Structure 1
Amino acid sequence: MGSPVRRLLRARLRTILIISGATAAVLTLGAFALVKGDGSATTAQAAHTAPKATTPLRDEPRAEPTRAGRGKTRSPEPSPARTKTPERKADTETGHMPKPESKKKKRKKAVASGSCEASYYWQGQMTASGEKFDPSELTAAHKTLPMGSKVRVTNKSNDRSVTVRINDRGPFVSGRCLDLSRAAMKKVGGTGSGVIQVRYEVLSRG
């Protein structure tokens, strides 16, 4: 048994030792936690700065179909290598599509034809049809064809043609069957010679 002073000192010493040990333990744990935290932060920063692997973007389905795809399946796009010419639809489907006009005009079928000599005249006078003769119109005189008949006249030397209307009688010269107006003769290129060999086709009578 010691004195009360010694017991008091020993009790205080034990208290100091206990507090010192606890403080050392707390400091040790704090230092360990700090080191661990720095390592985690470094790892996180390295992961953040590391380059991310690029992945191709996927063609995600659209939330709403496009106008071309509404209500029906989209048709495949035409191949650039082979293109098909669109077929013409029937008239019942297209509402009677107009047929393309022919580039060549159809020649009227002649009801009579032949060859002869043709002359021309230009003097102002009354014709046998009752109308005044106009040399600038495409008219002609014939001995027997009805008035108003249409005749196609072709110059044999150059194949130039003109269609004239019969409105007079003549010519009264042997070997000639037509007397053309000056304008008609000019069309077939015969005004220089005055009399030419022609081929005529009667397109209509009267």
Structure 2
Amino acid sequence: MAERAARQRALAIGGLVLAALLAGCASGPRSGGDGAPSTPPADVSRVPDAEPRIEAIRGAGGTSKPYTVLGRSYVPIADDRPFRESGLASWYGTKFHAQSTASGEPYDMYAMTAAHKTLPLPSYVRVRNPANGREAIVRVNDRGPFHDDRVIDLSYAAAARLDLLRGVAPVEIERITNDDIRTGAWRRPGDGTQMAEAPVRVASVPQAGAQSVAVPSAFTTPVVAAPRAEVNDLAPMAAAPAAPMAQARPSANEAPPAPEAPPGMSTAGYWVQLGAFSQRDGAIAFQQRVAKGMPELAPLINVFTESNTHRVQAGPYASRDLARSTADQVRNGLQLVPMVVERR
């Protein structure tokens, strides 16, 4: 009996230690209790972009090691490949301020940083809010968000810049590779200078005692799966039901509403994903905006719904090259960041 009681006490102590590790690590699964500071600095939305610089990419081990969190396995990218993604963004604030990130750096909620499940640590991405056109360049130095429907976790300052502090919202992200930095291809008019006139003084993160803490080992298990390429395999999804449309002829300033996929339509082939939304109304509004900007694409645009996510996609195309050609036209014509996916 005494031996059994001793084992039970040891297990209880181990559980407390694990809980303490997770509570003190910004890269662990994030839940409630977080939020904005009670007295935020003035003009926090004017914090300058992160300045991209070439940083070494670890080919193996450390932050490039495959890991598992909450039963899901992830394989970090360990090269300089381009990367684009659309989906939902969240943000984290006071609860994790000054806690160690997966890279070992302390989390600074007033810096332009972000967390991503698989991008190299560190790396840089341009994040765009399609609802208002705002953009921000952030440095990825943490892992997360560990929610199936989210693609990036922004710092408080980055969320303020993009006007995303009200909650989870759709974004488009594009990696700035070391090659982009080397050639200067990442720069756009105003990058790195539009905020220089009004520097923001914010409280710095205390450096003393900061520990190098990666994703907790208790939640980390090696996996052998290889990362997927640019094209994702998607199971067929049902198209969202078409909204009622007026029969009146559209005015000269209005684009014809983009049609939904007709019943029985084959969805097999390559598609250009233009955006993904948590609310169907947002997806439909975005669909109509793209149709107005590129009328020739309107007949091909559909909204597909799965697991409460509404994807706006154009297609299908018979080959990946044809889909990529359309993606390039959308990128150049509408300044969006589309991605090519495959349906079977």
Query: If the TM-score is normalised by the length of the shorter chain, which range does it land in?
Result: 0.3 to 0.5
TM-score normalized by structure 2? 0.27
* Higher Rg: 1
